[in-house]
Amino acid sequence: MMAIEILSPRLANQIAAGEVVERPASVVKELVENAIDAGATEILIEIEQGGAKLISIRDNGCGVVKEQLGLALSRHATSKISTLDDLEAIDSLGFRGEALASISSVCRLTFTSKTQEQPQAWQAYAQGRDMAVEVIPASHPQGTTVAVADMFFNTPARRRFLRTEKTEFTHIDELVKRFALSHFDIAFTLKHNGKVLRNLMLAKTTAQQERRVSSLCGKAFIDHAIAISSDHNEVKISGWLALPQGCKSYSDNQYCYVNGRMMRDKLINHAIRQAYQDWLPEGLLPGYIIYIEIAPSQVDVNVHPAKHEVRFHQARMVHDLIFQVLNSALNQTLSSGQQTDDNLSSLAPITAAAEHGYGDHSQTTDYGEGTHTKNSVGIANPAARHYSSSSSSSAPSSALSSTTGGFERGRSGSIDAAASAYQSLMSTPGFSDAPSSALTETSNQTTANDSELFGQLLTLIDEKYLVVNRHGNIELLSLTALESLVNELELTARWAQGFKAQPLLLPVAVAVDGSLIEQLTTHQQLFRRLGIEISVRGPKIIVKQVPAYLRQQDIATVVPQLLQLLANQPQLIESDSTLQQLICHWLAQFGVTSYSMASASQLVAKAAGHSPQVIAQFERLLQRVDFSTVIADFND
């Protein structure tokens, strides 16, 4: 039987180094975290030979006094925690007290530091031995420099596992990039073999922060990203989300932080993937920079050796909140047409469920126990217009005049719009400069875009109107009016069986007048039929479940609208067919605000299933296009 012995401090440190010092980037991580915890505003990182020869981290933080330099290199020595209560509410990046001791056990480490109070800087030196540390005077400004040389010099077996110089430095560069994206109040300089590769100045303003993001993540990311900000139940979520056209097939721009700490957490990643799943085509991955701020007592950061994962005390709440904030921001931007790129207009929700969820225009609302919540979303690109829920839609880029009106622009604008629309028509297969009498022959040709109801589908105008060639006439089809009609017909058909309720990720509390609360009692059966579950708490109503048609709407606005609608019709009761028509018509109004040719074709195909009712509404759905104004402009 083998005898049990106490490990020597040297061997214990080398074993601990197996967790702390995986590669040169691991050393950089531990030392930069210490510099940040020391309150540094400038950090210089110098690397030689990918970190295998030298890693030097210099900061202008508070420094370490002479008497504690030797102690700083001892195992389990830290200034970050002292009691169990401190461990349960950690607000610093480093806290275990193993880093310096573990690093010095497998490298040659020099620790030079000076505090503001000390007239003299001091230097401690250790190289792979026991805890004895030599301290000598040195020249150094306020702050600390930790130099780590000859990595794994006394453990050659581990040194053989190091990759090429380029690979190891790539890991370090990515690490510095992660630090720079989470600490805009710190200037970072990165050198490799004496050459400055990154020089990032302080970024205090939003514009400066976006410039830093652009330099680190690429201009394409910031140009196709939206800025998010949410504060709910003392959980703050902010950052940038890449819109679909800014996402890639590889995960190079995925950064998440919890209280400033870099994370690769499964729960967070799952919530992010769920938020994007309705919008990203197969093969594309989300792009994001997300900052989560939560009370330190509500999160356990001591669950992973490298501190890459955390455990939330209210994991489900945090997961659902992340999903809701991100999903609402994406829906609000993509469904409302407030994009940074014209190509985004062709994007539509991918899942069938999302086809009935149109834009969660979040305003200041109250969730759960009366906690004030703000959700805002804006275009990240400083040159782009920021989006708010009160923003009105921009003027159409082009609009063909109908028999009842002209162009929505001035004279010069209308010429450009007409030319663009006309050229679009001319380039459409099956449509040429032939006179209108010849269009009948063209319309008889069968194409993939033919519709029995509307004829040949030609092109989109302003993402809301479809130009069609119907019986040799060019007409404009209002897609929003068509979808409203189709929705109303489907809702009416499903009225008898009722609508399936879907629980909200977070209940929504809304303050309403007492007269509106009375409608909940008067129309209990109606709300059950609609799949809306509401409870009353004082002067507020708590909305817990809604049908799919309202799932992605701003519940804090929509539900009071419904209550007001009922209050305005006190004579109507559940069995009254007029009430059914009123509610179905109201629900049908919640539709998309922009279309692609694909989604427009799908809508037209769906309308074909209700052809008699749709045909009866042709007058309000279709308007013949009058080209006389356009031709006059061209002739002028």
CB 36 within 8 A of CB 30: no
Whether the pLDDT of residue 130 is over 60: the answer is no
Provide the pLDDT confidence category of residue 146 given band limits of 50, 70 and 90.
very high
Q: Which of 314, 245, 325 is nearest to 286 (CA)?
A: 245
> Tokens 């702390």 correspond to what residue?
20
- Collapse the DSSP code of 372 into the 3-class scheme (helix H, G, I; strand E, B; otherwise coil) and give the result: strand
Domains recognised in the chain with CATH numbers = 9-200 (3.30.565.10), 206-379 (3.30.230.10), 395-636 (3.30.1370.100)
Confidence at residue 139, expressed as pLDDT on a 0 to 100 scale: 93
Whether the pLDDT of residue 376 is over 70: the answer is no
Confidence at residue 88, expressed as pLDDT on a 0 to 100 scale: 56
> How far is the CA of 550 from the CAs of 140, 507, 547, 582, in angstroms?
64, 14, 6, 16
| Strand ranges for 121-280 from DSSP E | 121-127, 134-138, 143-149, 187-192, 195-200, 225-232, 235-242, 254-258, 261-262
Whether the pLDDT of residue 372 is over 50: the answer is no
Confidence at residue 441, expressed as pLDDT on a 0 to 100 scale: 37
Average pLDDT over residues 499-512: 82
Whether the pLDDT of residue 611 is over 50: the answer is yes
DSSP tag of 337 = T
Q: In what order do the strands lie in the sheet with 187-192?
A: 134-138, 121-127, 108-114, 143-149, 54-59, 42-48, 187-192, 195-200
The Cα–Cα gap between 54 and 190 comes to 13
Q: pLDDT digits over 577-593, tens only?
A: 778 788 888 888 876 66
Confidence at residue 128, expressed as pLDDT on a 0 to 100 scale: 61
Task: Look at 49-63, 82-96, 320-334, 618-632 and tell me which has the smallest mean pLDDT.
Answer: 82-96
The Cα–Cα gap between 285 and 250 comes to 6
- Give the other-Cβ count within 10 Å of 516's Cβ: 17
Confidence at residue 593, expressed as pLDDT on a 0 to 100 scale: 67
Q: pLDDT digits over 221-248, tens only?
A: 999 999 999 988 789 999 999 998 888 8
Give the pair of three-digit tokens for residue 303.
């669950």
95 CB contacts (<8 Å, ≥6 apart)?
Answer: 78, 80, 81, 87, 302
